[in-house]
Protein backbone atom coordinates (compact mmCIF):
# COMPACT_ATOMS: atom_id res chain seq x y z
CA UNK A 1 0.00 0.00 0.00
CA UNK A 2 1.38 3.40 -1.01
CA UNK A 3 2.30 5.61 1.91
CA UNK A 4 0.79 9.08 1.73
CA UNK A 5 3.20 12.00 1.79
CA UNK A 6 2.50 15.19 3.75
CA UNK A 7 1.62 16.86 0.44
CA UNK A 8 -0.96 14.14 -0.31
CA UNK A 9 -2.44 14.47 3.15
CA UNK A 10 -2.80 18.24 2.87
CA UNK A 11 -4.16 18.29 -0.70
CA UNK A 12 -7.91 18.88 -0.99
CA UNK A 13 -9.40 19.92 -4.37
CA UNK A 14 -12.75 20.64 -2.74
CA UNK A 15 -11.16 23.47 -0.72
CA UNK A 16 -9.87 25.35 -3.75
CA UNK A 17 -13.07 24.74 -5.70
CA UNK A 18 -15.17 26.22 -2.89
CA UNK A 19 -12.96 29.34 -2.90
CA UNK A 20 -13.07 29.63 -6.72
CA UNK A 21 -16.86 29.24 -6.93
CA UNK A 22 -17.41 31.81 -4.18
CA UNK A 23 -15.01 34.32 -5.70
CA UNK A 24 -16.59 34.13 -9.12
CA UNK A 25 -20.05 34.78 -7.66
CA UNK A 26 -19.39 36.98 -4.64
CA UNK A 27 -15.78 38.22 -4.75
CA UNK A 28 -14.42 41.62 -5.73
CA UNK A 29 -14.27 42.25 -9.50
CA UNK A 30 -14.23 46.04 -9.97
CA UNK A 31 -11.03 47.21 -8.29
CA UNK A 32 -8.93 49.30 -10.73
CA UNK A 33 -6.07 46.78 -10.80
CA UNK A 34 -8.35 43.85 -11.63
CA UNK A 35 -9.46 42.61 -15.05
CA UNK A 36 -5.99 43.14 -16.49
CA UNK A 37 -2.91 41.05 -17.13
CA UNK A 38 -0.63 44.11 -17.16
CA UNK A 39 2.11 43.04 -14.75
CA UNK A 40 3.12 46.67 -14.09
CA UNK A 41 -0.33 47.64 -12.80
CA UNK A 42 -0.67 44.40 -10.85
CA UNK A 43 2.80 44.81 -9.30
CA UNK A 44 2.09 48.43 -8.35
CA UNK A 45 -1.17 47.48 -6.62
CA UNK A 46 0.42 44.57 -4.75
CA UNK A 47 3.20 46.78 -3.39
CA UNK A 48 0.79 49.53 -2.37
CA UNK A 49 -1.52 47.02 -0.68
CA UNK A 50 1.24 45.66 1.53
CA UNK A 51 0.14 46.60 5.08
CA UNK A 52 -2.31 49.16 3.67
CA UNK A 53 -6.10 48.97 3.26
CA UNK A 54 -7.73 49.09 -0.20
CA UNK A 55 -9.60 52.30 0.61
CA UNK A 56 -6.35 54.12 1.38
CA UNK A 57 -4.64 52.84 -1.79
CA UNK A 58 -7.29 53.75 -4.39
CA UNK A 59 -6.47 57.45 -4.72
CA UNK A 60 -2.70 56.92 -4.58
CA UNK A 61 -2.90 54.19 -7.22
CA UNK A 62 -4.76 56.43 -9.68
CA UNK A 63 -2.44 59.41 -9.16
CA UNK A 64 0.66 57.24 -9.38
CA UNK A 65 -0.43 55.72 -12.69
CA UNK A 66 -1.31 59.13 -14.08
CA UNK A 67 2.23 60.36 -13.35
CA UNK A 68 4.04 57.06 -14.08
CA UNK A 69 1.92 55.19 -16.66
CA UNK A 70 4.61 52.61 -17.48
CA UNK A 71 7.47 50.91 -15.75
CA UNK A 72 9.83 52.84 -18.05
CA UNK A 73 8.34 56.16 -16.92
CA UNK A 74 8.78 55.15 -13.29
CA UNK A 75 12.36 53.97 -13.83
CA UNK A 76 13.34 57.26 -15.49
CA UNK A 77 11.68 59.51 -12.89
CA UNK A 78 13.71 61.42 -10.27
CA UNK A 79 13.58 59.76 -6.85
CA UNK A 80 12.14 62.90 -5.23
CA UNK A 81 9.23 62.79 -7.68
CA UNK A 82 8.51 59.17 -6.79
CA UNK A 83 8.68 59.92 -3.06
CA UNK A 84 6.39 62.94 -3.46
CA UNK A 85 3.69 60.79 -5.09
CA UNK A 86 4.06 58.20 -2.31
CA UNK A 87 4.06 60.77 0.50
CA UNK A 88 1.39 59.97 3.10
CA UNK A 89 1.00 56.31 2.14
CA UNK A 90 3.60 55.24 4.72
CA UNK A 91 6.18 52.46 4.88
CA UNK A 92 8.50 54.46 2.63
CA UNK A 93 10.92 51.59 2.07
CA UNK A 94 8.25 50.32 -0.33
CA UNK A 95 8.62 53.45 -2.48
CA UNK A 96 12.40 53.21 -2.58
CA UNK A 97 12.19 49.51 -3.50
CA UNK A 98 9.48 50.30 -6.06
CA UNK A 99 11.78 52.73 -7.85
CA UNK A 100 14.75 50.35 -7.65
CA UNK A 101 12.60 47.48 -8.95
CA UNK A 102 11.39 49.50 -11.94
CA UNK A 103 14.99 50.27 -12.87
CA UNK A 104 15.92 46.58 -12.62
CA UNK A 105 12.99 45.49 -14.78
CA UNK A 106 13.96 47.99 -17.46
CA UNK A 107 17.66 47.20 -17.25
CA UNK A 108 17.54 43.40 -16.88
CA UNK A 109 14.27 42.47 -18.59
CA UNK A 110 13.74 45.18 -21.21
CA UNK A 111 10.80 46.67 -19.33
CA UNK A 112 8.85 43.38 -19.19
CA UNK A 113 8.25 41.77 -15.81
CA UNK A 114 9.33 38.10 -15.76
CA UNK A 115 6.50 35.57 -15.41
CA UNK A 116 8.52 33.18 -13.23
CA UNK A 117 7.69 33.78 -9.54
CA UNK A 118 11.24 32.83 -8.56
CA UNK A 119 12.68 35.58 -10.76
CA UNK A 120 10.10 38.10 -9.55
CA UNK A 121 11.01 37.31 -5.93
CA UNK A 122 14.61 38.35 -6.61
CA UNK A 123 13.56 41.91 -7.49
CA UNK A 124 13.67 44.69 -4.84
CA UNK A 125 10.61 44.79 -2.58
CA UNK A 126 9.00 41.63 -4.00
CA UNK A 127 8.87 38.69 -1.61
CA UNK A 128 7.65 35.17 -2.22
CA UNK A 129 3.95 35.89 -1.69
CA UNK A 130 3.87 39.10 -3.72
CA UNK A 131 5.78 37.39 -6.54
CA UNK A 132 3.21 34.59 -6.58
CA UNK A 133 0.30 37.04 -6.75
CA UNK A 134 1.85 39.02 -9.61
CA UNK A 135 2.64 35.85 -11.57
CA UNK A 136 -0.81 34.35 -10.95
CA UNK A 137 -2.72 37.44 -12.05
CA UNK A 138 -0.49 38.41 -14.98
CA UNK A 139 0.34 35.00 -16.47
CA UNK A 140 -1.72 32.35 -14.66
CA UNK A 141 1.28 30.82 -12.85
CA UNK A 142 0.44 28.20 -10.21
CA UNK A 143 2.10 29.72 -7.17
CA UNK A 144 0.96 30.00 -3.56
CA UNK A 145 0.43 33.28 -1.72
CA UNK A 146 0.73 33.71 2.04
CA UNK A 147 -0.22 37.23 3.13
CA UNK A 148 -1.97 38.23 6.34
CA UNK A 149 -5.42 37.48 4.94
CA UNK A 150 -4.44 33.97 3.90
CA UNK A 151 -2.79 33.26 7.25
CA UNK A 152 -5.99 34.27 9.01
CA UNK A 153 -8.20 32.12 6.77
CA UNK A 154 -5.93 29.09 7.12
CA UNK A 155 -5.50 29.51 10.88
CA UNK A 156 -9.28 29.51 11.40
CA UNK A 157 -10.29 26.91 8.83
CA UNK A 158 -7.62 24.40 9.87
CA UNK A 159 -7.56 25.27 13.58
CA UNK A 160 -3.90 26.31 13.76
CA UNK A 161 -3.38 27.35 17.37
CA UNK A 162 0.20 28.66 17.17
CA UNK A 163 1.32 32.14 16.17
CA UNK A 164 1.46 32.15 12.31
CA UNK A 165 4.49 34.45 12.29
CA UNK A 166 6.67 31.86 14.02
CA UNK A 167 8.99 30.35 11.40
CA UNK A 168 8.09 26.73 12.09
CA UNK A 169 4.37 27.51 11.85
CA UNK A 170 4.80 29.71 8.79
CA UNK A 171 6.78 27.00 6.99
CA UNK A 172 3.94 24.56 7.68
CA UNK A 173 1.43 27.08 6.31
CA UNK A 174 3.46 27.41 3.12
CA UNK A 175 3.48 23.62 2.65
CA UNK A 176 -0.27 23.55 3.08
CA UNK A 177 -0.72 26.47 0.67
CA UNK A 178 1.31 24.66 -1.98
CA UNK A 179 -0.67 21.46 -1.52
CA UNK A 180 -4.03 23.26 -1.86
CA UNK A 181 -3.25 24.96 -5.19
CA UNK A 182 -5.86 24.15 -7.85
CA UNK A 183 -4.98 22.76 -11.26
CA UNK A 184 -7.26 25.32 -12.94
CA UNK A 185 -8.59 28.74 -11.98
CA UNK A 186 -5.52 30.03 -10.12
CA UNK A 187 -6.53 33.66 -10.70
CA UNK A 188 -9.95 33.22 -9.07
CA UNK A 189 -8.48 31.09 -6.30
CA UNK A 190 -5.75 33.61 -5.45
CA UNK A 191 -8.17 36.54 -5.54
CA UNK A 192 -10.71 34.50 -3.58
CA UNK A 193 -8.33 33.91 -0.68
CA UNK A 194 -7.57 37.64 -0.58
CA UNK A 195 -11.26 38.55 -0.76
CA UNK A 196 -12.29 36.10 1.95
CA UNK A 197 -9.78 37.54 4.38
CA UNK A 198 -10.60 41.14 3.48
CA UNK A 199 -14.41 40.96 3.41
CA UNK A 200 -15.66 37.93 5.40
CA UNK A 201 -12.93 36.32 7.49
CA UNK A 202 -11.95 39.65 9.02
CA UNK A 203 -9.92 40.08 12.19
CA UNK A 204 -12.95 41.16 14.22
CA UNK A 205 -16.58 40.16 13.68
CA UNK A 206 -16.04 37.64 10.84
CA UNK A 207 -19.15 37.05 8.71
CA UNK A 208 -19.20 33.28 9.15
CA UNK A 209 -22.77 32.66 7.85
CA UNK A 210 -21.73 33.91 4.38
CA UNK A 211 -18.40 32.08 4.27
CA UNK A 212 -18.07 29.23 1.73
CA UNK A 213 -15.64 27.45 4.11
CA UNK A 214 -17.90 27.54 7.17
CA UNK A 215 -18.76 23.83 7.04
CA UNK A 216 -15.07 22.87 7.29
CA UNK A 217 -13.88 25.67 9.59
CA UNK A 218 -12.41 24.40 12.87
CA UNK A 219 -12.54 27.85 14.51
CA UNK A 220 -16.26 28.22 13.70
CA UNK A 221 -17.12 24.71 14.88
CA UNK A 222 -15.26 25.17 18.16
CA UNK A 223 -16.32 28.78 18.79
CA UNK A 224 -12.75 30.10 18.53
CA UNK A 225 -12.97 32.66 15.73
CA UNK A 226 -12.04 35.40 18.22
CA UNK A 227 -8.97 33.43 19.37
CA UNK A 228 -7.58 32.44 15.98
CA UNK A 229 -5.22 33.27 14.51
CA UNK A 230 -3.09 33.41 17.65
CA UNK A 231 -1.83 36.94 18.13
CA UNK A 232 1.81 37.83 18.26
CA UNK A 233 3.15 37.82 21.83
CA UNK A 234 3.02 41.42 23.01
CA UNK A 235 6.13 43.45 23.65
CA UNK A 236 6.23 46.91 25.13
CA UNK A 237 6.28 49.52 22.36
CA UNK A 238 9.44 51.64 22.62
CA UNK A 239 8.85 55.38 22.79
CA UNK A 240 11.15 58.07 21.43
CA UNK A 241 11.05 61.81 21.08
CA UNK A 242 12.23 64.38 18.54
CA UNK A 243 12.44 68.15 18.73
CA UNK A 244 11.70 69.59 15.26
CA UNK A 245 12.48 73.09 14.04
CA UNK A 246 9.71 74.88 12.16
CA UNK A 247 11.75 77.69 10.63
CA UNK A 248 9.41 79.90 8.61
CA UNK A 249 10.60 83.05 6.91
CA UNK A 250 8.97 85.17 4.23
CA UNK A 251 6.34 82.56 3.45
CA UNK A 252 8.85 79.71 3.17
CA UNK A 253 9.68 76.83 5.50
CA UNK A 254 13.10 75.28 5.89
CA UNK A 255 13.20 71.58 5.04
CA UNK A 256 15.89 68.95 5.40
CA UNK A 257 16.63 66.03 3.08
CA UNK A 258 16.51 62.78 5.06
CA UNK A 259 19.13 60.06 4.40
CA UNK A 260 18.20 57.50 1.75
CA UNK A 261 17.69 54.74 4.33
CA UNK A 262 16.10 54.56 7.76
CA UNK A 263 12.97 56.25 9.09
CA UNK A 264 11.39 58.47 6.42
CA UNK A 265 14.34 57.65 4.17
CA UNK A 266 14.52 59.76 1.03
CA UNK A 267 11.81 62.21 2.16
CA UNK A 268 12.07 65.83 3.14
CA UNK A 269 11.31 66.68 6.75
CA UNK A 270 11.88 69.37 9.35
CA UNK A 271 15.36 69.81 10.82
CA UNK A 272 15.73 68.13 14.22
CA UNK A 273 17.72 69.12 17.28
CA UNK A 274 19.11 65.69 18.08
CA UNK A 275 17.24 63.09 16.01
CA UNK A 276 14.92 60.40 17.34
CA UNK A 277 16.17 59.72 20.86
CA UNK A 278 14.91 57.76 23.84
CA UNK A 279 12.33 59.22 26.19
CA UNK A 280 14.83 59.13 29.02
CA UNK A 281 16.77 61.95 27.34
CA UNK A 282 16.02 65.50 28.43
CA UNK A 283 13.51 67.41 26.31
CA UNK A 284 15.25 70.08 24.25
CA UNK A 285 15.15 73.50 25.89
CA UNK A 286 14.49 76.82 24.15
CA UNK A 287 18.20 77.59 24.38
CA UNK A 288 19.12 74.30 22.68
CA UNK A 289 16.52 74.94 19.97
CA UNK A 290 17.88 78.45 19.39
CA UNK A 291 21.45 77.13 19.20
CA UNK A 292 20.45 74.44 16.68
CA UNK A 293 18.55 76.97 14.56
CA UNK A 294 21.43 79.49 14.51
CA UNK A 295 22.99 77.70 11.53
CA UNK A 296 20.04 78.88 9.42
CA UNK A 297 20.24 82.58 10.28
CA UNK A 298 19.92 85.10 13.11
CA UNK A 299 17.35 83.72 15.54
CA UNK A 300 14.90 86.28 16.87
CA UNK A 301 12.51 84.05 18.82
CA UNK A 302 11.69 80.39 19.48
CA UNK A 303 8.27 79.27 20.61
CA UNK A 304 6.92 75.75 21.34
CA UNK A 305 4.00 74.50 19.25
CA UNK A 306 1.45 71.84 20.15
CA UNK A 307 3.08 68.44 20.45
CA UNK A 308 1.95 65.44 18.46
CA UNK A 309 2.49 61.68 18.48
CA UNK A 310 3.21 59.46 15.47
CA UNK A 311 3.14 55.66 15.70
CA UNK A 312 5.51 53.58 13.59
CA UNK A 313 5.34 49.79 13.41
CA UNK A 314 8.20 49.44 15.87
CA UNK A 315 8.08 52.55 18.06
CA UNK A 316 6.04 55.58 19.07
CA UNK A 317 7.48 59.02 18.33
CA UNK A 318 6.60 62.07 20.43
CA UNK A 319 7.21 65.15 18.29
CA UNK A 320 7.92 68.51 19.93
CA UNK A 321 7.77 71.18 17.17
CA UNK A 322 9.34 74.58 17.80
CA UNK A 323 8.45 77.63 15.74
CA UNK A 324 11.60 79.59 14.94
CA UNK A 325 11.46 83.26 13.87
CA UNK A 326 14.52 84.64 12.11
CA UNK A 327 15.69 88.24 12.20
CA UNK A 328 17.89 87.51 9.16
CA UNK A 329 18.06 84.42 6.99
CA UNK A 330 21.33 82.56 6.52
CA UNK A 331 22.27 80.45 3.52
CA UNK A 332 20.57 77.04 3.22
CA UNK A 333 23.13 74.71 1.69
CA UNK A 334 23.76 70.99 1.44
CA UNK A 335 20.79 68.97 2.53
CA UNK A 336 18.64 71.99 3.54
CA UNK A 337 16.35 73.99 1.27
CA UNK A 338 13.57 76.58 1.52
CA UNK A 339 10.10 75.51 0.31
CA UNK A 340 7.07 77.73 -0.25
CA UNK A 341 4.74 77.10 2.68
CA UNK A 342 1.60 77.26 0.54
CA UNK A 343 2.98 74.41 -1.62
CA UNK A 344 3.83 71.93 1.16
CA UNK A 345 1.04 69.67 -0.08
CA UNK A 346 3.28 68.86 -3.06
CA UNK A 347 6.42 68.20 -1.00
CA UNK A 348 7.62 64.62 -0.31
CA UNK A 349 7.02 64.89 3.44
CA UNK A 350 6.16 62.34 6.14
CA UNK A 351 2.44 62.41 6.96
CA UNK A 352 2.73 64.04 10.44
CA UNK A 353 5.07 66.76 9.16
CA UNK A 354 2.86 67.50 6.16
CA UNK A 355 -0.19 67.74 8.45
CA UNK A 356 1.60 70.11 10.82
CA UNK A 357 2.81 72.39 8.03
CA UNK A 358 -0.57 72.34 6.26
CA UNK A 359 -2.12 73.74 9.43
CA UNK A 360 0.52 76.45 9.65
CA UNK A 361 0.00 77.29 5.97
CA UNK A 362 -3.57 78.46 6.59
CA UNK A 363 -4.11 82.04 5.36
CA UNK A 364 -3.38 84.74 7.89
CA UNK A 365 -1.01 82.76 10.10
CA UNK A 366 2.19 83.93 8.38
- Under DSSP, the state recorded for 271 is -
pLDDT at 314: 87
Q: 189: left (phi > 0), else alpha (psi -120 to 50), else beta?
A: alpha
Among candidates 7, 65, 68, 58, which has minimal Cα distance to 31? 58
Cα–Cα distance between 94 and 130 in angstroms, integer? Answer: 13
Q: Of 6, 46, 178, 239, which is the active-site residue?
A: 46
Model confidence at 366, pLDDT cuts 50, 70, 90, reads: very low
pLDDT at 2: 58
Q: Does the pLDDT at position 362 exceed 80?
A: no
Cα–Cα distance between 117 and 115 in angstroms, integer? Answer: 6
Among candidates 138, 155, 289, which has minimal Cα distance to 225? 155
**What is the b/e burial string over 147-186, where b = at least 16 CB atoms within 10 angstroms of the residue's CB?**
bbbbbbbbbbbbebeebbeeeebeebbeebbebbbbeebb
Among candidates 124, 276, 161, 153, which has minimal Cα distance to 212? 153
pLDDT in tens, 204-232: 999 999 999 999 999 999 999 999 999 98
* C-alpha dist (Å) from residue 127 to 120, 162, 203, 265: 8, 23, 23, 21
The answer to whether 46 is a known catalytic residue is: yes
Say if residues 153 and 196 touch (Cβ distance below 8 Å): yes
Answer whether 0.75 is exceeded by the pTM. Answer: yes
In the chain the domains, ranked by start, together with CATH numbers, are 6-221 (1.10.340.30), 239-360 (3.90.79.10)
Model confidence at 3, pLDDT cuts 50, 70, 90, reads: low
Give the total residue count for the chain. 366
pLDDT at 363: 58
Choice between 232 and 15, residue whose per-residue pLDDT is larger: 15
Planar angle of CA 41, 47, 49, nearest 5 degrees: 100
* C-alpha dist (Å) from residue 318 to 22, 245, 263, 328: 46, 14, 14, 30
CB atoms within 10 A of CB 103: 16
pLDDT in tens, 94-127: 999 999 999 999 999 999 999 999 999 999 999 9
DSSP letter string, 329-355: E----TTEEEEEGGGGGGS---HHHHH
Phi/psi for 85 (5° steps) reads: -75, -15
Most confident of 1-10, 299-308, 328-337: 299-308
pLDDT at 125: 97
pLDDT in tens, 313-322: 889 999 999 9
Amino acid sequence: MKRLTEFDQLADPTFSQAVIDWQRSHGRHTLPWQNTTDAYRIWLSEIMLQQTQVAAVLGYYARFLERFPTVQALAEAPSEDVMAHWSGLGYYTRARNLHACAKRVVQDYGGVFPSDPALLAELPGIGRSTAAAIAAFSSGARAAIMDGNVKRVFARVFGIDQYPGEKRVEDALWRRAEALLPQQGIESYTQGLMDLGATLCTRSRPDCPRCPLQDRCVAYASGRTAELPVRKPKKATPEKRAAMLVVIDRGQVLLEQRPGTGIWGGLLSLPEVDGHVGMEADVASSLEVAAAAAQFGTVEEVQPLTRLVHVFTHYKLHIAPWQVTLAARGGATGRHLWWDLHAVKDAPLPAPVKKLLAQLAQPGLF
